[in-house]
Amino acid sequence: MTELILQTKDLRKTYHPGTVQAVEALRGIHLDFEKGRYYAIIGKSGCGKSTLLHILGALDTPTAGQVICAGEDVFGRSRNALAAFRRRQIGFVFQSYNLLQEHTVLENILMPLHLDGRDADEEYLHPIMEMLEIEGLVHKFPSELSGGEQQRVAIARALSAKPAIVLADEPTGNLDPATGRHTLALMQHTMEQLGQTLILVTHDMDIAEKAHVLIRIHQGEIVDVT
Ligand SMILES: Nc1ncnc2c1ncn2[C@@H]1O[C@H](COP(=O)(O)OP(=O)(O)OP(=O)(O)O)[C@@H](O)[C@H]1O
Ligand SMILES: [Mg+2]
């Protein structure tokens, strides 16, 4: 049985609407995301990938259309409910890792939990750190780690609050191809074990082809879902 976890209906985003600089970044996106599956989003620079990912994770708001999670319109919720959705349902992994430099690896990983006033679940987190091969790094600072290590820490951080959905925007873009693919394989394996949904933006076709579903965007529109 497949379960819809996230859906978009006629999603549109226009930057600077009504002005001469108006940019229609998304032009009516309809997508269904099923629980536990791995989606890759590909398309040329500027086609709207990051815009879509940010709206899916409620980091930005659409100009029109809906994002539906568990049957409910995400942007129809109160501000508090929207913030709770972001903290509890969504994990983000960015291209530039975005780790807090003055905090240790462990503190970084636990940050989303602390922000939500929750304690760490050791039984959940330990296998994740093992699978991502970072158990030995927990007391180090980000500046002491390689790029690949920092990105694996950022992935653990995205997973620590047990999100149902992880959104990753070119997470391996700053890594050499071999390290990038290894990092992605570890992430995919970890998320499969946890039954989480991964939505990943990538320029690397070798990575995209490992996804269950490949979504192609061109100039703000979906051109192919395979
Ligand atoms: N904050 C913003 N204000 C105005 N225009 C924006 C803003 N962010 C993005 N855009 C425009 O919206 C379009 C889509 O941008 P987006 O960042 O979603 O592309 P992308 O597919 O992620 O590209 P890349 O592969 O280079 O990261 C582009 O034309 C971009 O210039
Ligand atoms: Mg982008």
Q: Read off the pTM.
A: 0.94
Distance between Cα 145 and ligand 2 center (Å): 25
Distance 172 CA to ligand 2 centre (A): 13
* pLDDT tens digit sequence for 109-153: 999 999 989 999 999 999 999 989 999 999 999 999 999 999 999
Please check whether the domain covering 4-225 is classified as CATH 3.90.245.10.
no
Q: What is the mean pLDDT of residues 33-57?
A: 96
Q: Mean pLDDT across the stretch 34-55?
A: 96
* Ligand 2 geometric centre to CA of 127 (Å): 31
Residue 1 has pLDDT above 80, yes or no: no
CB of 195 closer than 6 angstroms to any ligand 1 atom:
no
Q: Is 177 in the pocket of ligand 1 (CB under 6 A)?
A: no
pLDDT in tens, 169-184: 999 988 888 888 999 9
13 CB within 6 A, ligand 1: no
Q: Name which residue leads in pLDDT, 19 or 70.
A: 19
Q: In whole angstroms, what is the distance from residue 94 CA to residue 167 CA?
A: 9
Alpha-carbon distance of 91 to 86, in angstroms, equals 8
How are beta strands 38-42 and 213-218 bridged, if at all? parallel
Q: How far is CA 8 from CA 1, 53, 96, in A?
A: 20, 11, 27
Ranges of beta strands (E only) in the chain are 4-15, 23-34, 38-42, 64-69, 72-73, 90-93, 165-169, 197-201, 213-218, 221-225
CA distance 69 to 89: 9
Cβ(15) to ligand 1 under 6 A?
Answer: yes
What are the residue boundaries of the structural domains of the chain, listed by start?
Answer: 4-225
Q: How large a percentage of the chain has pLDDT more than 90?
A: 83
Average pLDDT (178-196) is 90
